[in-house]
Amino acid sequence: MKFTKAIYTLALAFILCIGGATAQELRFNSNHKFKIVQFTDVHWIYDDPKSEEAAERMREVLDAERPDLVVYTGDIIFAKPAAPALQRALEPAIERGIPFAVTWGNHDDEQDLTRKQLLELVQGFKGNLSSTTEGIKGVTNYTLQIQSAKSEAAAAVLYVFDSNSYSPNKRAKGYEWIAHNQIGWYIQQSAAYTSANEGNPLPALAFFHIPLPEFNEAVKTENSFMIGTRKEPACSPKINSGLAAAMLEAGDVMGVFVGHDHVNDYAVSWKGIMLCYGRFTGGPTVYHHIPGGNGARIIELTEGERQFRSWIRLEGGQVINDFTYPSKWIK
């Protein structure tokens, strides 16, 4: 226990010495585009050479895509000690000076640091945009505003949720669900952005780790548009707490991006919202038998339009599963 606390203290001191995170604005470029790379399920194990495969892929993707933002959607680390493992997993973004955001999965706090302690570490790294919202369930609940290329006005918003971990309720075993107060927070944030945008919902995306029950519902719907690989059912909570319904009513979220299930990378339409898996990014430290190996999902927004384009990049520059939302298949 003393050893764990020492590592945590030293790591926190180190990242504060090299320069803590500074406020960085996210903005559409002069071509009115904004590109996001989603890394998910890195499952980094410190001092395990197998994890280097994840680092190699992340570096390759970032150098090819040159994104405006990187989002890590949980299960970033998979063994003790957590602090140096987390630092190594985030290095590809940090060393390139690319702003990044994180949310936690069900494995990140199973090591030797709590979700709150992990966030404190991350908040010391240069380029970090991750934060927290007090008073609601979870730790990594926050919004990221993308400003217009032409003004200081918000042109799009990203909602980051903590999808929590395992159910504490013995009558509903399995994974925990996004809590009602988290959904209430989202509804308030969405309404505020809509009001500030003259009553028009601001184009939005959402990122978290554990998929919603609607992922399983959508793939069973005969007229749903689906692209990508599905090798297992979505391991979602058994309780549907209503986040997807809230997004449907608010009318702002165009796409939801998750991880968790390593051999799925599909995107499927659900009542006009795209439900998308990222691409497993980790090395062979966990199960990962998806055709083509590890990689990342890329999402590109266009300012002033309720649309995004997405594709998956694999080893050697291979690009697959390219689609645009909305399309004639997405209703």
Q: Considering its fold, how many domains does the chain have in total?
A: 1
Q: What is the DSSP letter of 77?
A: B
Residue 85: which domain range? 29-325
> Which tokens in the block code for residue 1?
């226990």
Residue 330's pLDDT is what? 64
Report if residue 8 sits inside a domain.
no
Task: Give the per-residue pLDDT at 329.
Answer: 62
Within-domain flag for 11: no
Residue 76: Cβ within 10 Å count: 31
Tell me the three state secondary structure of residue 128. strand
User: What residues are paired with 207 via a beta bridge?
Assistant: 160, 257
- Cα–Cα distance, 35 to 165 (Å, whole number): 29
| Alpha-carbon span 96 to 321, nearest angstrom | 26
Q: Which domain CATH number covers 96?
A: 3.60.21.10
* Three-point CA angle 151, 153, 156, nearest 5°: 115
Alpha helices in 178-233 (DSSP H): 180-196, 214-219
Residue 20 belongs to a domain? no
How many residues does this entry show for the chain?
A: 331
- On whether residue 15 sits in a domain, the answer given is no
Beta strands 142-147; 26-27: pairing state? parallel
Single pTM value for the model: 0.93
Within 8 A by CB and 6+ apart from 138, the residues are: 104, 115, 161, 162, 163, 164, 178, 179, 182
Q: Looking at the DSSP assignment, which residues form a beta bridge with residue 147?
A: 27, 154
Q: Is residue 16 part of a domain?
A: no
Q: Is residue 9 part of a domain?
A: no
Classified as helix, coil or strand, 302 is: strand
Domain-embedded: residue 241: yes
Average pLDDT per run of 10 along the chain, which is 331 residues long?
44 40 78 98 96 98 98 97 97 98 96 97 97 98 97 97 95 95 98 97 98 97 90 97 98 98 97 97 93 97 97 97 84 58
Whether 6 is covered by a domain: the verdict is no
Partners of 37 in beta bridges: 70, 298
Helical axes 82-94 vs 2-17, angle rounded to 10°: 20
